[in-house]
A = this chain, B = another copy of it.
Amino acid sequence: MAKITLVEAINLALAHELAHDPAVVLLGEDIGPNGGVFRATVGLQERFGEGRVLDTPLAESMIAGLAIGMAAMGLKPVAEIQFSGFIYPTVDQMINHAGRLRTRTRGRLSVPMVLRTPSGAGIHAPEHHSESNEALFAHMPGVRVVTPSSPRRAYGLLLAAIRDPDPVVFFEPTRLYRLHKQEVEDDGEALPLDTCFVLREGRDITLVSWGAMIHETLEAAHVLAETGVEAEVIDLATLSPIDYETILESVARTGRLVVVHEAPRTAGLGGEILAEVAERAGYDLAAPPVRVTGYDVVTPLFKLEHEFMPSVNRIVAAARRVLEG
């Protein structure tokens, strides 16, 4: 089995579902002959035809709205938004319709769609190409939010997202697209959307993160291990609804929590997780939990993007504060 990158794993999962489920249709800007600006859909139109892989006009509200109509009529559209900085015109359709149609029709209609989008900073991209905005979608009832952090999880979680009977926003960390390779078996096995993944076990402190920041978080755990601190690293993976059982179980053991994300701090998902843990396991905490996040500023152009993104050092420092606290 050849090792593949995360973006190749996305391609593999898309191809698998296109081949096995005639209801799956891909749509988006430049996903056809061009294969997507990140090459996530390369070769798919050639292989499955223009009736399964559709280049759309340039309009994101349109992409979301079309997907909703298609999904309600029985297709399983997988739509690509070219960069997460361009996802905002979909917010209206996603919150007012995609996440709402099942409950407002009491189950008569539903929206089994996926909205895929590259996400995050760190690849020296132009303005508006480096945003992390998962928290906006996590606040939408009826919408699942998922992000993978390895090729294998990208494959398994994307399969699950496509098969899920409800709308899923699927954030793909651009920084990881080509960073690592992993053996990924094309066995059509989906991963569950109701669980976090424990990537590293540890008894001293719980580090929760997702997407590209998993990379720095694991490195921080490695650094901490050099001084004998065993950090447990949890990949949140499904950002909404959140599997709190895994996190609470971990915190019950470690008594210490750091949440790491790239998105701005205020009203980000780090707040959500700290709050829930404080509410439900406040007495388990040996020290105040801490967030390490992007700052409450516009994602800067790339000369400063590394100063914006949480660094291994900041994570380690935060963990040490919590350990000493």
What's the nearest-Cβ distance from chain B to residue A187, in Å?
Answer: 33
- The closest CB in chain B to the CB of A274 belongs to B275
Which residue from B104, B142, B275, B289 sits with its C-beta under 8 Å from A282? B289
Most chain B CB within 10 A, of A85, A135, A267, A290, is at: A267
Interface status of A23 (Cβ within 8 A of chain B) = no
Residue among A133, A271, A279, A282 with max Cβ neighbours from chain B (10 Å): A271
Binding stretch for chain B, among A95-103, A109-117, A146-154: A95-103
* Contact residues in B for A61 (Cβ distance below 8 Å): 89
* Cβ–Cβ contact B88 & A95, under 8 A: yes
Question: How far, in whole Å, are A266 and B134 apart by their CA atoms in the complex?
Answer: 12
The contact of A136 among B136, B271, B296, by CB within 8 Å, is B136
Check A282/B279 contact, CB under 8 A, given A88-B95, A89-B89, A297-B103.
Answer: no
In the assembled complex, A307 has its CB within 8 A of some CB on chain B: no
Interface size on A, residues (CB 8 A): 53
Cβ 8 A contact of A288, one of B85, B89, B242, B283: B283
What 0/1 readout, one digit per residue, does chain A (259-289) give for beta carbons within 8 Å of chain B?
0000110111111111110111111010111
Interface check A298, CB cutoff 8 A: yes
One digit per residue, 1 when the CB lies within 8 angstroms of any chain B CB and 0 when it does not, for chain A 21-61 equals: 00000000000000000000000000000000000000001
Structural contact, B85 and A264, CB atoms closer than 8 A: no
Q: Do B88 and A96 have beta carbons less than 8 Å apart?
A: yes
Q: Complex Cα distance A242/B279, Å?
A: 21
Q: Given that A127-B104, A272-B271, A285-B282 are known contacts, is A266 also in contact with B99, CB under 8 Å in the complex?
A: no
A283 vs B241: C-alpha distance when bound (angstroms): 29
A138 located at the interface, meaning its Cβ lies under 8 Å from any Cβ of chain B in the complex: yes
Q: A85-B96, A141-B297, A296-B141 are in contact. Are A278 and B288 (CB under 8 A)?
A: yes
Contact check, A275 vs B271: say whether CB atoms are below 8 A apart. yes
Q: Which 8 A-B pairs have the closest CB atoms?
A: A282-B288, A88-B92, A274-B275, A271-B275, A139-B267, A271-B272, A278-B278, A271-B271
Q: Which residues of A contact B (CB under 8 A)?
A: 61, 85, 88-89, 91-92, 95-96, 99-100, 103-104, 127-128, 133, 135-136, 138-139, 141-142, 240-242, 263-264, 266-276, 278-283, 285, 287-291, 296-298, 325
Pairs across A and B, CB under 8 Å, 21 listed: A88-B91, A88-B92, A91-B136, A104-B127, A133-B139, A135-B267, A136-B139, A136-B267, A138-B266, A139-B264, A139-B267, A271-B274, A271-B275, A273-B275, A274-B278, A274-B279, A278-B282, A278-B289, A279-B288, A279-B289, A280-B288
